[in-house]
Amino acid sequence: MSGYREPRRFRCIHRRHSECGLTLIELLVSLAILTILTSFIVGGLSTAIRAFSADRRNSVEAATNAAGESLRSLIASAMPVANALQPGSLLFDGQREELRFVTLSEGRALRGGPQDVRIRRRNDELVIEVFGALREGGSRKPPVSSTTIVAGLRDIRFRYFGVAGSNGEAIWRDDWIKARRLPALIEIGFNFKEAERNGPAVVVALRNEGAPGGS
């Protein structure tokens, strides 16, 4: 007597159930792999974004520091030039957000000799305006060039330390106008819109401090 054989119809049903089970397992495995890949992609994007942000911060910080050093060097070279239109005072106007003075150019970026320059805030930018060589009689003229050295400012503050007259006590002032002498120190405080760019104030010592002739 031959052994019992399962009807063909039931064998097909069992095979289809087995195939369905394998397909479900494959789907679960695929979902797990997709989840892992997604986590890697998201992690990679996050790392790339952080690296980009850090690189941008470093670039902005480097640009800000370079601008600060250029500004420090320019201000330190201010010269005590007498104002022919206002006897007893210098061609130096120091205000809270603006500074105008005469500097000596070595003939590299500018024509050699005394140059009339102004540093001021224009909207959110700090600009340096060059008025060129002084006119006869000390009169001033419109700027011949304007250069933005830093952007993103909320405001800027200049302060001045020294003796404004022929004698007296050296103190900090918010302006330095119609003075007989150059200030000894100038403080520059930057206030950027991005708070992380803010740092301590920069203090500049003028190399040609004093009155014309070094008195």
By the 10 Å C-beta count (0-12 exposed, 13-18 middle, 19+ buried), 32 is classed as: exposed
Q: Specify which residues 113 forms β-bridges with.
A: 105
Confidence of residue 10 (pLDDT cuts 50, 70, 90): very low
Q: Which amino acid is at 146?
A: S
Contact partners, residue 107, CB within 8 Å, separation at least 6: 113
134 contacts 108 by C-beta, under 8 angstroms = no
pLDDT at 27: 67
Confidence of residue 64 (pLDDT cuts 50, 70, 90): confident
Overall pTM > 0.75:
no
Q: Which amino acid is at 168?
A: G
Determine the Cα–Cα distance for residues 213 and 50; give it in Å rounded to an integer: 56
Q: Which amino acid is at 102?
A: V
Q: How many helices (H) and strands (E) does the chain have?
A: 1, 10
Determine the Cα–Cα distance for residues 111 and 104; give it in Å rounded to an integer: 10
Dihedral angle, C-alpha 31, 33, 38, 44, nearest 10 °: 180
Contact partners, residue 130, CB within 8 Å, separation at least 6: 110, 115, 116, 117, 143, 144, 145, 146, 147
93 contacts 140 by C-beta, under 8 angstroms = no
Confidence of residue 141 (pLDDT cuts 50, 70, 90): confident
198 contacts 190 by C-beta, under 8 angstroms = yes
Determine the Cα–Cα distance for residues 121 and 147; give it in Å rounded to an integer: 11
Contact partners, residue 77, CB within 8 Å, separation at least 6: 103, 104, 207, 208
Confidence of residue 87 (pLDDT cuts 50, 70, 90): confident
Model confidence over 11-46: pLDDT tens digits? 544 555 445 455 766 666 667 677 776 666 655 555
Determine the Cα–Cα distance for residues 189 and 172; give it in Å rounded to an integer: 14
